[in-house]
Structure 1
Amino acid sequence: MLSQPHTKYRPYPSVDLTDRTWPSRTLTQPPVWLSTDLRDGNQALFEPMSRQRKLKLFHELVRLGFKEIEVGFPAASKTDFDIVRTLVDEDLIPDDVTPMVMTQLREDLVRETVRSVRGARRAIVHLYNAIAPAWREIVFGLSVPQIIEMVEHHIGLLRRFTAEAPETQWVLQYSPETFCMAELEISLAVCNAAIAAWDAGPTRPMIINLPTTVEVTTPNVFADQVEWMHRRLHRREHIVLSVHPHNDRGTGVACAEQALLAGAQRVEGCLFGNGERSGNLDLVTLALNLYAQGVSPGLDFSDIAAVARIAEECTSLPIHPRHPYVGDLVFTAFSGSHQDAIAKGFAAQAADGPWRVPYLPIDPKDIGRTYDSIVRVNSQSGKGGIAYLLERDHGVVMPRRMQIEFSAIVQKHAEASETEISSEEIWRLFSEVYFDPLREGAYRYVAHALDEGPGGDTLRLQLDCTALGQRIESSGRGNGPIAATVAALNPALRVDSYEQRSLGSGADARSIAIVEVAHPSIAGSRFGVGVHDSIATASVLATLGAFNRLGVPLEKAGTSAPTTVTA
């Protein structure tokens, strides 16, 4: 029984640091950020990312502002090696971005790792080995002097290999893996040996990275460990002190925050915390926690939904609807008292005043979210019942974010009418919102022509609409009907999701397409729906409907190149 006293698990000892200073400090600046999404995050996936997805995520990390990115374990994977070489050989790494490559302590692996990134302007080579008692005694059978000798030997090899490639500025990162479970005196001895072996100094930069390889203590103990090391590391002024928290106890973000108070200058993690076991440090949560305290994180999360969609596409991992800041439901209140407080907060909030809306730690607009679904019905059955009736009576299966959006519309109508909303009334509302937007200036579909473009690898769309009594023709090219419609309407549109399915069965069944689009100038995204005998026509109608609901202008027709949206 878990409720009974036991001696199976022993708490790790606390740190004898009676003069600790970190509890009285305040975070006033962001850390150096290192993304491990392409390496630590990738190895934790059911199916590791393909080359295409890895490169797409790399470019997204660069766009977000990451200046250090761990790009792989090239000595252990041909895929990783080839991707690293692609980044270097095709000059895909911006001058202000430093790639990091990782390897264990083995001569052939160290040599291959250096070869993988040779020619980059600047590169971090990350060497690591486990030093905690269980690993020393059970896994490797090595004494502490043997471990120190192994570290010194392999750093010496790294110095020799990197000296043969002076065109690259080399940085050593050394991680005493399992640091959080090792004796501090041994951690210090190993790290100081690494510092001396690399000869860290003004022209020989070095990072000491302290991982919570497996979380086994409370965050305050980890902070004590970091401060203890921070005070005692040799050549401290030439060392960047980094932490790599995992999340086994669910306190990865707390460990990082307290470690920064304790002297750490750099953090490693994944965008949304994916990693082995319970995950790595969640970088988005840490960054936006800082932002909520008035500290600019130096990363661009102004359209957090777009970042989430790319991460989900590249990793095939869904983001929990209640994930901090980014989940589809985090700015949604079901409680009546919460709804009342939030509504009063919005009414009282001054445009240029400090943020004081109850229950909302940050302004959703700051991260590209909207207020549309914040105040919602009190019961889950409101959203679930609407989705059930639409599917049962009309065959429409709404995506989760669309359910949130449309149930808020139904709830508003119900409150105004003060009557029960029937299935027929729900369908009428659905049709008005998604099929035929009634706002002034909306583009009304008349006809379209779709044919293959030159070479047969793209489609060409001629779109005929009316707006404000005028006939409007536009054209565009893409690798599918949705992409071609985007190009014809406004190339800056971004397709966040799309679904296509049959309504019913049989040869005469109609098709439905649901498309979610966004635009850089407008917060949030909008859905459009198209129903037609032809799935291609349904896709065009759905894209046009979503475009109308965004309310952005139609741009000059006839793009010179196909849009990159795959649809």
Structure 2
Amino acid sequence: MMNNHIEIFDTTLRDGEQSPGFSMNQEEKLQLAHQLERLQVDVIEAGFPIASDGDFETVREISKHITNSTVAALCRTRHKDIDRAAAAVEPAAKPRIHTFIATSDIHMKYKLKKTRDEVLDSAVDAVEHATQYCDDVEFSAEDASRSDPDFLYQIFEEVIKAGAKTINVPDTVGYAMPWEYGNLIKGIKENVPNIDQATLSVHCHNDLGVAVANSLMAIRNGADQVECTINGIGERAGNASLEEIVMAIATRDDDRETKVVTEELVPSSKLLSEITGHNVQPNKAIVGDNAFAHEAGIHQHGVLNNPMTYEIMTPQSVGLESNKIVLGKHSGRFALNKKLQKMGYELEKDELNRVYFKFTQVADEKKKVKESDILDLIIDTLSHQPADGDPKVAG
């Protein structure tokens, strides 16, 4: 039976911060953690405490302040790592220790230099050790999408027996295709006998541009938790984008829901951009500057009459005040007239035609026509001053 509620595990402060040029100091991470709690994500992965004293102190500070979301700390399967993670999240109202080890043959051979049996023993030992500190332990099989499924079934069964409450299936290098990843999740649901005793989580990277698609396919095949980041930031090409996953579920999936406050999506995106100094591309889904902007005349006509003609969600639902009608070379008379009316001008048909002709000439030369440009057009095109019965400025 599939879970109706999909847990959102945000790793912006851990995996996201590993993006080159996206590092954050303690004050910035704490500020973003508070925003993530306002967003009502289920889990905030606050950092990798063994990495440095600064990361340890930051995770510990976040743990002291966050009360509603679970605070997770990442660690390898070494006892020293686990002890450090446990100390970092100890003040948290809802602490989680998240331990991981690679399970793909290429990682075991060339990185770990361990056999499958050694990796299995290390995973089980790590989970058992972590459960001494808290009940909420998550285990990740790094590079799961390139691992032997039968080995995954075995290691997941054993770590659940050892006390893992969440098992995570990372597409660490963004290798999987949606149909493959969906089948992997389905296989885990069907072949791990005690899988119902744990939350099944997924963590997808975007190297081939399908991290969100993989995450959604995983949900359709039984995943209960999605690990993702604000603006999709993360290692290399990034992680699955939190805002895209949440709004895809809210807009298209009648069977599942998250508890995310979607009106906080744009504020979260903007805060991250402000902190890191990296803006999202204009055409970024949900939070990009053009996500609710319209320049083409046909689109503008439709949206101005009924936004649902070209918008499948409202801008207000993601935290924007309104959509944007952008005047440019593709705009038509209808949108221009609406803009003129907002500016206080009521033009006769022939006057509008004259202004529009001049407008198209300006728009051919400029990427975006500003309100000051339109005022210049009015002055240039209409040869007389506004008077009663003529084009005029309100007020």
Q: CA deviation at 1:109?
A: 1.5
Unpaired stretches in structure 2, ≥5 consecutive residues: 363-368, 377-392
1:89-238 alignment to 2 at 5 Å? 91-94=64-67, 96-160=68-132, 162=133, 169-198=134-163, 206-238=165-197
Q: What whole-Å deviation, never above 9, does each CA across 1:199-243 have from its counterpart, x for those lacking one? A: x5xxxxx10011111122320110100010012224223201111
Structure 1 residues 254 and 372, CA gap change in structure 2 (3 angstroms): closer
Distance 1:424 1:318 in 2: 22
Corresponding position of 1:525: none
Aligned with 2:227 (options 265, 268, 271)? 268
- Number of aligned residue pairs: 357
Distance 1:67 1:159 in 2: 20
Distance 1:233 1:296 in 2: 25
The answer (yes or no) to whether the contact 1:71–1:100 under 8 Å persists in 2 is yes
Structure 1 residues 424 and 110, CA gap change in structure 2 (3 angstroms): closer
Flag the structure with larger Rg: 1
Q: Does 1:279 align with 2:251?
A: no
Q: Does 1:252 align with 2:211?
A: yes
Q: CA deviation at 1:325?
A: 1.6
Corresponding position of 2:274: 313
Q: Does 1:362 align with 2:316?
A: no
The answer (yes or no) to whether the contact 1:68–1:99 under 8 Å persists in 2 is yes
Q: CA deviation at 1:192?
A: 1.8
Corresponding position of 2:200: 241
Unpaired stretches in structure 1, ≥5 consecutive residues: 1-24, 163-168, 201-205, 347-356, 383-405, 431-437, 441-567
Q: Does 1:57 align with 2:57?
A: no
Aligned with 2:15 (options 40, 44, 48)? 40
Q: Which amino acid aligns with 2:260?
A: L
Q: Percent identity?
A: 24
Aligned with 2:294 (options 329, 333, 341)? 333
Q: Which amino acid aligns with 1:102?
A: L
Distance 1:252 1:415 in 2: 49
Distance 1:191 1:425 in 2: 61
The answer (yes or no) to whether the contact 2:42–2:70 under 8 Å persists in 1 is yes
The answer (yes or no) to whether the contact 1:303–1:369 under 8 Å persists in 2 is no
Corresponding position of 1:21: none
Distance 2:54 2:290 in 1: 37
Corresponding position of 1:394: none
The answer (yes or no) to whether the contact 2:292–2:323 under 8 Å persists in 1 is no
Return the TM-score normalized by structure 2: 0.81
Distance 1:327 1:249 in 2: 20
Secondary structure of residue in 1 paired with 2:136:
strand
Secondary structure of residue in 1 paired with 2:50:
coil
1:343-382 alignment to 2 at 5 Å? 343-346=304-307, 357-371=308-322, 373-374=324-325, 376-379=327-330
Corresponding position of 2:385: none
The answer (yes or no) to whether the contact 1:41–1:276 under 8 Å persists in 2 is yes
Secondary structure of residue in 2 paired with 1:268:
strand
Say which structure, 1 or 2, has more relative contact order (CA 8 Å, 6+ apart).
2
Q: What whole-Å deviation, never above 9, does each CA across 1:400-432 have from its counterpart, x for those lacking one? A: xxxxxx9x95798799553336899937949xx
Distance 1:216 1:359 in 2: 33
Structure 1 residues 367 and 152, CA gap change in structure 2 (3 angstroms): closer
The answer (yes or no) to whether the contact 2:11–2:229 under 8 Å persists in 1 is yes
Q: Which amino acid aligns with 1:246?
A: H
Structure 1 residues 247 and 427, CA gap change in structure 2 (3 angstroms): closer
Distance 2:199 2:3 in 1: 18
Return the TM-score normalized by structure 1: 0.58
Q: CA deviation at 1:336?
A: 2.6
Structure 1 residues 172 and 296, CA gap change in structure 2 (3 angstroms): closer
Mean alpha-carbon deviation: is it higher for 65-74 or for 370-379? 370-379
Corresponding position of 1:299: 260
Q: CA deviation at 1:345?
A: 3.1
Structure 1 residues 370 and 58, CA gap change in structure 2 (3 angstroms): closer
1:367-446 alignment to 2 at 5 Å? 367-371=318-322, 373-374=324-325, 376-379=327-330, 409=339, 416=347, 417=352, 418-419=354-355, 420=358, 426=372, 429=375
Distance 1:182 1:341 in 2: 49
Corresponding position of 2:58: 83
Distance 1:125 1:333 in 2: 46
Aligned with 2:303 (options 342, 353, 358)? 342
Distance 2:371 2:84 in 1: 66
Distance 1:251 1:282 in 2: 10
Corresponding position of 2:382: none
Structure with greater helix percent: 2
Distance 1:331 1:126 in 2: 37
The answer (yes or no) to whether the contact 1:410–1:426 under 8 Å persists in 2 is no
Q: CA deviation at 1:299?
A: 1.2
